[in-house]
Amino acid sequence: MDRFKALLITRDEATKKQSVAFTELTPDQLMPGDVDVRVEYSTVNYKDGLAITGKLPVVRRFPMIPGVDFAGTVTASRSPAWKAGDRVLLNGWGVGEVHYGAYSEMARVNGDWLIPLPDGLSAAETMALGTAGYTAMLAVLALERHGLKPADGPVLVTGASGGLGSIATMLLARLGYTVHALTGRVHEHDYLRKLGAAEIVDRAELQVAPKALAKERWAGGIDAVGGVVLANALSMTRERGVIAACGNVAGMELATSVAPFILRGVTLAGIESVRAPKADRIAAWQRLARDLDRALLAEATTAMPFDGVINAAHDIVEGKVRGRLVVEIA
């Protein structure tokens, strides 16, 4: 492509105020990389919303094309790992933060950041999952490595009506776990039950000041919220249980004690998806292709045009988005 459409974030260095607008670029304006990809689909994650709205300093280099996920087709490659025509996807690696990202009809990236489009999933489906779904699967794998089994008892999913929480709820329910879905959105209860939640937990129950140890309720869980919600979840986790932490919507602070860890043997497993090893990425995507209910994924997904990304970013930060958004770039 001689020219292509991209969403660009710029910043006035004097006022530190950022601006976001669609523009046209040429290939020579892209950042260095050894693989060129025609981007077909992307998604809108909470992190993308923060980058576009400027609510938190996600973007660390200006100007920047935001967007941390994409799926598409290689058009040119200087990497021995890829050739023109290969179908690929990318999650993380600082794309959309320090390296030009997904909200562009063309991307130029390091070939080591790419993985093959997994068998059994279309490009659009991989972006219906995106970093949120991929991270949810990394969290499920962490629970499994810890030895958590469906027979051990119910598991908690916080932020369950959001993108990561929706996928986590689907996956755990399909794997046979009894899922207790935490949400503050009363109107989403039926949606969560459709995804497989056996019980709905009012978010307010976990927004109180946490005790060192509270009544044991869950054998484990996946936390996409952080803050006081995670502190309470830890205090309510059963002996030898495990919580996989992968979000910070409620804040970066964690005001807890050592009691759950030394008196109940609870494990807090951190999930880092941005720079996960390639083997772990491929394993997670293979499990997503195998374990996910594609019909349920479709019901939890909304397709949207490229031009709608800015509005969607504001909506996701304001908590107005249910499930997953797929952005049709090409």
Residues 28, 315 contacting (CB under 8 angstroms): no
Lowest mean pLDDT among 68-72, 139-143, 246-250, 302-306: 246-250
122 within some domain: no
- Predicted local distance difference test score (pLDDT) of residue 56: 85
Mean pLDDT for the stretch of residues 168-194: 96
Residues 177, 88, single domain; the answer is: no
Closest CA to 326 of 312, 314, 318, 146: 312
Interatomic CA distance for residues 237 and 128, integer angstroms: 31
Interatomic CA distance for residues 329 and 40, integer angstroms: 5
Mean pLDDT for the stretch of residues 152-176: 96
Mean pLDDT for the stretch of residues 198-225: 97
Which residues are paired to 220 by β-bridges?
155, 242
Residues 87, 113, single domain; the answer is: yes
Residues 76, 155, single domain; the answer is: no
Tokens of 264: 């109940």
279 within some domain: no
- Predicted local distance difference test score (pLDDT) of residue 252: 86
Sign of CA dihedral 227, 228, 232, 233: negative
Judged against a pLDDT cut of 80, whether residue 1 lies above it is answered with no
Structural domain count of the chain: 2
Summarize pLDDT for 71-115 with one digit per residue, the tens: 999 999 999 999 999 999 999 999 999 999 999 999 999 999 999
Judged against a pLDDT cut of 90, whether residue 248 lies above it is answered with no
CB atoms within 10 A of CB 309: 25
Sign of CA dihedral 67, 279, 134, 231: negative
Residues 108, 35, single domain; the answer is: yes
Mean pLDDT for the stretch of residues 22-49: 97
- Predicted local distance difference test score (pLDDT) of residue 124: 97
Residues spanned by the domain of 218: 131-270
Summarize pLDDT for 8-30 with one digit per residue, the tens: 999 998 998 999 999 999 999 99
- Predicted local distance difference test score (pLDDT) of residue 249: 83
Say if strands 199-202 and 179-183 run parallel, antiparallel, or are unpaired: parallel
- Predicted local distance difference test score (pLDDT) of residue 274: 94
192 within some domain: yes
106 within some domain: yes
Mean pLDDT for the stretch of residues 34-55: 96
pTM: 0.93
247 within some domain: yes
Residues 310, 226, single domain; the answer is: no
Residues 265, 187, single domain; the answer is: yes
Residues 81, 88 contacting (CB under 8 angstroms): no
Residue ranges with strand state E in 78-158? 87-91, 106-109, 115-116, 155-157
Residues 83, 142, single domain; the answer is: no
Residues 20, 63, single domain; the answer is: yes
Judged against a pLDDT cut of 90, whether residue 306 lies above it is answered with yes
Residues 139, 244, single domain; the answer is: yes
Where residue 97 sits, what CATH number does that domain have? 3.90.180.10
Tokens of 124: 């659009």
Residues 229, 161, single domain; the answer is: yes
Mean pLDDT for the stretch of residues 260-278: 97
| Rg (the chain; Cα; Å) | 20
Q: Average pLDDT over the chain, rounded to whole? A: 96
Q: How confident is the model at residue 251 (pLDDT cuts 50, 70, 90)?
A: confident
